[in-house]
Amino acid sequence: MSAWKAKRFWKKALVEAVEGGFTIRLDRGFVKTPAKALFVVPTRGLADAIAAEWEAQSGLVKPETMPFTRFANSALDKIVPQFDAVVDMLAAYGSTDLLCYRAIGPDALVERQALAWDPLLDWSAQALDAPLVSSAGVMYLAQQSESLERLHGLVADLDPFQLAAFHDLVSISGSLVLAFAVTRGRLTASEAWALSRIDEAWQVEQWGEDEEAAAFEAVREADLLQAERFYALCG
């Protein structure tokens, strides 16, 4: 027996102001999260973007075409109930940040990483007041506790909706520094993506591209770009 799939039942998806922000009205009903929580987002711009996702549905509802709805659901159902745990999990990336672990060789790759990543670590020290050190190899590298505490505090300053997008910026790039660089306008998500894939790009140059891996990477890059836009609409 095939699984039941939701079909469009509404004529119009509209944004409506409510206490605490904005919600989406589908004819006479209102959108709720999968956990049946009230679906309220903080800004009109974000609500408009989510309403556009619902309005674009035709026939069977396709959740994969509704990334902003997914981010909002995650914020309300997953992050709000366990905010501190999510903050701890993301802040932990500071102790194993991608930018801090460099290749041992060849020299050309070592140089490429240094040229691309050193300026971002300098930026972290200055703009975030969180200096991090780097080293060649994969052995664990201890960072200053003051820097890690500072990064933890910056993550904790985000609201649940920002944190939903920030989660993808961090987990996809593998770098807390790159994620903050995007949210603070130091980098675009496209630039952060390229910086996070220096090793992968090197391998492609040496051995050629694997089509299946390339397709997977394209999806991940699109997810990163969507996270950037969602974060921008939260403010």
For residue 195, what is the domain's CATH number?
Answer: 1.10.3580.10
Number of compact structural domains in the chain: 2
- The predicted-structure confidence for 23-76, as pLDDT tens digits, reads as follows 999 998 999 999 999 999 999 999 999 999 999 999 899 999 999 999 999 999
| Domain housing 15 | 1-65
What does the pLDDT average to over 205-222? 95
Q: Are residues 160 and 56 in the same domain?
A: no
Distance of CA 106 to the CA centre of its chain: 31
Of the candidates 163, 221, 176, which has an alpha carbon nearest to the alpha carbon of residue 194?
221
Q: Are residues 46 and 157 in the same domain?
A: no
Q: Are residues 37 and 119 in the same domain?
A: no
- The predicted-structure confidence for 138-189, as pLDDT tens digits, reads as follows 899 999 999 999 999 999 999 999 999 999 999 999 999 999 999 999 999 9
- The predicted-structure confidence for 75-126, as pLDDT tens digits, reads as follows 999 999 999 999 999 999 999 999 999 999 999 999 999 999 999 999 999 9
Torsion sign (Cα): 164, 176, 127, 192:
negative
Q: What is the rounded CA–CA span in Å between residue 127 and residue 88?
A: 21
Q: What is the rounded CA–CA span in Å between residue 123 and residue 128?
A: 7
* Residue 123 maps to a domain: yes
Specify whether the CB–CB gap between 24 and 31 falls below 8 A: yes
- Residue 230 has φ and ψ, to the nearest 5°, of -60, -45
